[in-house]
Every structure is written in structure tokens, then in C-alpha cells.
Chains A and B, each alone.
Chain A
């Protein structure tokens, strides 16, 4: 299990479905995109920080459950968000996420534990 690697070990990615399973997370929307893969994760409650990151295939781990978390992801080309600490996405957040074809997950673990589980499973940090 864990990260899929090609023969050189360079290509590493994990399906959202597997991430949801590792985190015992609930899929809030984007269930049709569970086969999508991510390579990196970034954990922050500060959206200005999220707006500085570059790259693709990024999972955002955050405890910030307001509309700006989803807006920020939209601007930063991030299609996958996991909300930690048992925080719940609001209806307007889900609506905006659906409009942008995003996957939203909710898990009860802390941000630290969430990041630790995913790091341990092979998801890479951006920096």
C-alpha cells in the first residue's frame, strides 16, 4: 500500500480514495473524483500562505472551515482539501467546491496527526 512508484521510484502519487481511507475521512463532495491522485500536501490555516505555493497535485490540509478556504484553493489550483479536527464544511463551501470540481474530505484527526499519517504513507512536502 502507500505511494505508487514507477520503476525509477520518481513518480509518486496517491489516490484520494486511499487518503480518505488512511484518515478514516468522510467524503463530502467530489466522490466522482476519488481516482484522482495527489503527490504533495500542504497544511495551513493561513490562506495567504496557501496562495504562495506552486505546483500541482496538491492536497490542502486545513482546520479553516469558511468560504475563503475553498476560494483560496480555487485560486491556487488546488482540487483536494481535507478539513481536520472534526470541522465541517458549510453548505456554501460545498456548493463552491462542487462548482469547481473539487474533492472535500472531513476527518476527526488533528492537523498534526493528519499530516503525520500522510507523510508516513509517502505523501511529499512541498518544501
Chain B
């Protein structure tokens, strides 16, 4: 199965809509609720990141019998130091993002914690690509 979603930078009202839709799909597929939570929390944090930092983003979800691969690609400023961005507490978020309850430097660490595998690549000045993988054939957690 393949699904695609679009994210608009700065559109906080719709941040999480894709995660919400994917959650409904995963529930219909009878996936363990703990695994669903890991997947949607990771995707939701990624959506918020795109809304907070980028101009536009696309989400590609591929589900087969053994795994779910989610790719989030954005056009934006990119991340110049990924290791630094992965450190809990590091953030370049605006005041507006903080007022939304985010921007404390926990997004990428939360995504990593909730993914079985996470791959981040970024071209500063053009954009960032996250690929997260979740195995379906093992217990969540």
C-alpha cells in the first residue's frame, strides 16, 4: 500500500492531519496499538518539524506485510549539523512554534526513539529527508 500527504510550512492548523489519517489506516489494518502510537508520534513530530522549519513537505508511506517505511521530504533551510540537531534540547524553533507546545529540541530525539530505524539526510539551503522504518513482525517497544 502506498499513501502520500502534503505539508505546508507555517500551517499549524493542519499539522498532524497526515498523522491522524495514517493512524486511522493503521487501526483498520489491526496493527498493535503500541506500534501505531510509535509510528504516529514519530510522524507527527516530523510533520510539526516541516511546518515549523520548512516551506513545503511531502510524506510517502509504504506498507507491506513486514514493515512500514515513511519518507518525509521537505524544501527548506535544511540542517547544517545533524548530530547537533539530534541532541535533546537543541532547537532553532521560533517563538510561535514554542507557543504551540513544541520547539524544545525534542522532535528529532522523539522521532528516533519511536522508530526502529531512522535515516536523516540534509542539504543546507535546499531541504531535509527523513526515512523512518518500523517492523510489523515484532512487538512494539
Beyond A66-B101, A71-B15, A75-B40, whether A48 also contacts B106 by CB under 8 A is yes
Chain B residues touching A, majority SS: helix
- Are B44 and A71 touching (Cβ within 8 A)? yes
A50–B15 Cα distance when bound, in Å, is: 16
* Residues of A with C-beta under 8 A to B99: 66
Asked if A74 lies at the interface with its beta carbon under 8 angstroms from chain B, I say yes
Closest to B100 in A: A68
Beyond A75-B37, A76-B37, whether A48 also contacts B101 by CB under 8 A is yes
- Are B40 and A48 touching (Cβ within 8 A)? no
* Residues of B with C-beta under 8 A to A68: 12, 15-16, 48, 100-102
- Are B19 and A67 touching (Cβ within 8 A)? no
| Interface size grouping (class) on chain B | 20 to 34
A42–B46 Cα distance when bound, in Å, is: 23
Taking Cβ atoms with an 8 Å cutoff, the residues of B that contact A are 12-13, 15-16, 19-20, 23, 33, 37, 40-41, 44-45, 48, 99-102, 104, 106-107, 110, 113
9 pairs of residues in contact across A and B, judged by CB atoms under 8 Å: A47-B100, A48-B102, A64-B101, A67-B13, A68-B15, A68-B48, A71-B16, A74-B16, A92-B13
